[in-house]
């Protein structure tokens, strides 16, 4: 089986190549370009393509993949909101993903963002480097005995609940389904109760029609003043313009974002030469209590290893005609 691996970075190459010897029937060719309608034709002669959160696997791309005879779309990530599943089903293109490669990797990053923006670590780091040892502008608050509000208690949200519990926080959560495994440490509440009662709100639900712009003016107004908001899930869960308005109105003690609306489709690019004066990300970064990272929640050694093994196993299952729990189906 031949796989064309789109948007390959050196760390992808290293992690996949190190696992490939366990899959002798599979070969992988790596290219730097990401998957989109302009690059889909490169998949001619391949059985499968491997794509990521940054890829465009919409209808136009799938039209071309189908025409080129590709029967398998291997998403090397948990989310698949960038895949047109109806089109894939129409063309019988199998879509597989890596649902839970390392929930702790993302949850630990969510807590790192929460702590960093609460205690202004990004600011403190720069101050001390400039020989400024004053504490002005650095005051935070204790998480101990405060209330965490976790939206979405699947794999990553559950890991975040456990971390917050470990910090001595009261942990509340909102989800459309309750996670039985958390009942000893989590109190499920309505979304409104969570918004009104939480000192730290962390988003861990997927991006769907129901969750698009879940955090916007109305929901922000319901939050406590001085709340910390963290989003490591998907950018469009938060309406950026309304977030900026909330920050200006001093609603937030801190905002930590690993994902943001503007990141697609250029996620993971080095844009250090660009002047981003019109970007909403640049506007967000102008606030001292905002900390932004570049969709790196998943980026740990353990997670990359797990992604490589599961993606190659998905390919092997397809090759052998086996069903898999990692099949992405139409809802």
Binding residues for ligand NAI, rule: CB under 6 A, are 78-79, 99-100, 103, 106, 151-157, 174-177, 204-208, 210-211, 232-234, 258-259, 295, 297-298
Alpha helices in 170-300 (DSSP H): 191-197, 217-222, 240-248, 280-285
Q: Which is nearer to ligand NAI, 12 or 47 (CB)?
A: 12
Min separation Cβ 40 and ligand NAI, Å: 23
Q: Which is nearer to ligand NAI, 15 or 233 (CB)?
A: 233
Min separation Cβ 64 and ligand NAI, Å: 26
Catalytic residue among 155, 263, 283, 318: 263
Min separation Cβ 161 and ligand NAI, Å: 11
Q: What are phi and psi of 171, to 5 degrees?
A: -105, 120
Tell me the C-alpha to C-alpha distance, in Å, between residue 100 and each of 31, 81, 178, 195, 262. Answer: 25, 16, 18, 27, 25
CA distance 317 to 23: 11
Instruction: Tell me if 86 sits within 8 A of 330, measured CB to CB.
Output: yes
Min separation Cβ 317 and ligand NAI, Å: 20
Q: Which is nearer to ligand NAI, 210 or 270 (CB)?
A: 210
Structure tokens at 223: 């939050």
Q: Which is nearer to ligand NAI, 208 or 266 (CB)?
A: 208
250 is catalytic: no
CA distance 83 to 52: 10
Which of these, 127, 124, 81, 76, lies nearest to 308 by C-alpha position? 76
Min separation Cβ 300 and ligand NAI, Å: 10
If DSSP codes are grouped into helix, strand and coil, which group holds residue 104? helix
Sign of CA dihedral 37, 322, 177, 143: negative
Catalytic residue among 234, 261, 283, 318: 234
Residue closest to ligand NAI (Cβ): 154
Q: Which is nearer to ligand NAI, 30 or 212 (CB)?
A: 212
Which of these, 194, 41, 137, lies nearest to 203 by C-alpha position? 194
295 is catalytic: yes
234 is catalytic: yes
Catalytic residue IDs: 234, 263, 295
């Amino acid at each position: 089986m031949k796989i064309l691996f789109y948007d390959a970075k050196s760390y992808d190459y290293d992690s996949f190549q190190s696992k490939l010897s366990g899959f002798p029937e599979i070969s992988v060719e790596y290219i730097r370009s990401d998957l989109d309608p302009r690059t889909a034709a490169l998949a001619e002669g391949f059985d499968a393509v491997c794509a990521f959160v940054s890829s465009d696997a919409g209808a136009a791309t799938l039209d071309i993949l189908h025409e080129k005879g590709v029967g398998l779309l291997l998403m090397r990530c948990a989310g698949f909101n960038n895949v047109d599943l109806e089109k894939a089903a129409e063309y019988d293109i199998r879509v597989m993903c890596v649902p839970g490669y390392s929930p702790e990797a993302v949850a630990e990053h969510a807590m790192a963002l929460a702590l960093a923006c609460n205690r202004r670590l990004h600011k403190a780091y720069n101050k001390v480097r400039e020989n400024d040892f004053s504490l002005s502008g650095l005051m935070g608050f204790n998480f101990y005995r405060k209330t965490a509000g976790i939206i979405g208690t699947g794999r990553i949200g559950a890991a975040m609940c456990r971390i917050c519990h470990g910090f001595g926080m009261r942990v509340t959560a909102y989800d459309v389904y309750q996670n039985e495994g958390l009942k000893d440490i989590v109190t499920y509440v309505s979304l409104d109760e969570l918004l009104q009662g939480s000192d730290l709100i962390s988003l861990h639900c997927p991006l769907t029609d129901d969750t698009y712009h879940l955090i916007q003016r109305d929901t922000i107004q319901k939050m406590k003043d001085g709340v910390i908001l963290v989003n490591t899930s998907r950018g469009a869960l938060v309406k950026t313009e309304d977030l900026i308005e909330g920050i200006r109105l001093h609603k937030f003690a801190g905002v930590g974002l690993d994902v943001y609306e503007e990141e697609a489709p250029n996620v993971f690019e080095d844009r250090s030469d660009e002047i981003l004066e019109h970007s909403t990300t640049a506007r967000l970064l102008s606030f001292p209590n905002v900390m932004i990272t570049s969709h790196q929640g998943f980026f740990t050694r353990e997670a990359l290893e797990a992604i490589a093994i599961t993606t190659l196993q998905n390919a092997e299952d397809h090759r052998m005609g086996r069903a898999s729990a990692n099949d992405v189906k139409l809802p």
